[in-house]
Amino acid sequence: MFLHPMTWPDNTKCAAAITFDIDADSLIRDARREDGELRLQAISMGQYGPTVGVPRILESYKRYGLTQTFFMPGWVMENYPGTVESILKAGHEIGHHSWRHEDPMNHSDEVEAELFGKAMDVHMKLTGRHPRGYRAPVYSITPAILKRLIEHNFLYDSSMMADDLPYLVETSVGNLIELPPHWGTDDWPPFAHFAEINYMMPVRGPSAGIAPFFEEFNAMYEAGGFWMPVLHPFLTGRLARWREVERYLEPILEKGDVWFATLEDIANHALKDIDTMRRVEIQV
Ligand SMILES: [Zn+2]
């Protein structure tokens, strides 16, 4: 059960959004600034995302008639404009995901403001609009970023984990909707092995890695909740893993009682429940 239940459009039972963060080779370039450009293995692992994973994912979405949300650092958008174009052409949303995947805890907020603005400029240039949603690199959102998002009229954030369902973040400068991720539906723990950034997990097989995401789905479906995996094309976009996702998705889509939408649409819908939704106050 939920303390602050929500209803979903057209009598659907639950809301779902498969989100992909296209970090590409920004990860290694930012983590190893002194010599990242020499680390071809790590660069190539990242490049797999936009060049192989994303086309595969977009083809599936087209086949299923799904419109979903991607998050991209500005640097990745600038370096992979064809990826941006194919995502937008298919009607998907692109959210703000920093400049080059730098962790906001590792520099001053002054630097963060400048990098944030650089990414905003790239969004404007390549998508023709300001992004409505934000997800912090490694979920590392700060009070200053939260304030900045509200001042820039962002509709939602997707970095904090205080509830199962969308909730309202209240601050002294305004509010936004939080669309909460959590580690149980993030594909880094089962699939990432990245020695250069000291992330060394035992890599799971496709079925063992993907099944838990759909156990999470089943619970959300039963309770009328919100299911939002946080995936990465260089991890879950791999052939066998994505095939496994498709195997689970197909019967869900066939039933037709789950509302798959972009995060922007889900956040807008959540606003309708603003009087009854969970509220979390944060000092900024
Ligand atoms: Zn990321």
Q: Give the helix ranges, DSSP H, for the chain.
A: 26-31, 40-48, 54-64, 74-79, 81-89, 109-127, 143-151, 188-191, 206-223, 239-255, 263-270
- The pLDDT tens digits for 169-213 are 999 999 999 999 999 999 999 999 998 888 888 899 999 999 999
Cα torsion 29, 31, 36, 42: sign: negative
- The pLDDT tens digits for 227-258 are 999 999 999 999 999 999 999 999 999 999 99
Q: Which residue has the tokens 């838990």?
A: 212
Residue 198: what pLDDT? Answer: 86
- Cα 231 to ligand 1 centre (Å): 9
Name the token pair of 36. 């990242």
- Cα 31 to ligand 1 centre (Å): 12
Residue 35: what pLDDT? Answer: 92
Can you tell me the distance from the alpha carbon of 208 to that of 168, in angstroms, rounded to the nearest whole number?
Answer: 34
Nearest to 132 by CA among 171, 178, 77, 95: 95
Strands ordered across the beta sheet of 133-134: 230-231, 19-21, 69-72, 93-96, 133-134, 156-157, 174-178, 167-171, 279-281
Q: What are the residue ranges in the chain where pLDDT is below 70?
A: none
Residues with CB under 5 A from ligand 1 (ion): 21, 23
Distances (CA, A) of 284 to 107, 141, 151, 154, 162: 18, 12, 12, 15, 17
Name the token pair of 22. 């296209």
- Cα 3 to ligand 1 centre (Å): 30
- Cα 134 to ligand 1 centre (Å): 11
- Cα 139 to ligand 1 centre (Å): 8
- Cα 191 to ligand 1 centre (Å): 14
What are the residue ranges spanned by the domains of the chain?
9-281
Beta-carbon contacts of 223 under 8 Å, excluding residues fewer than 6 positions away, are: 1, 2, 14
- Cα 236 to ligand 1 centre (Å): 13
- Cα 257 to ligand 1 centre (Å): 30
- Cα 101 to ligand 1 centre (Å): 6
Residue 201: what pLDDT? Answer: 84
Choices 3.30.1380.10, 3.90.1150.10, 3.20.20.370, 2.30.30.90: CATH for 9-281: 3.20.20.370
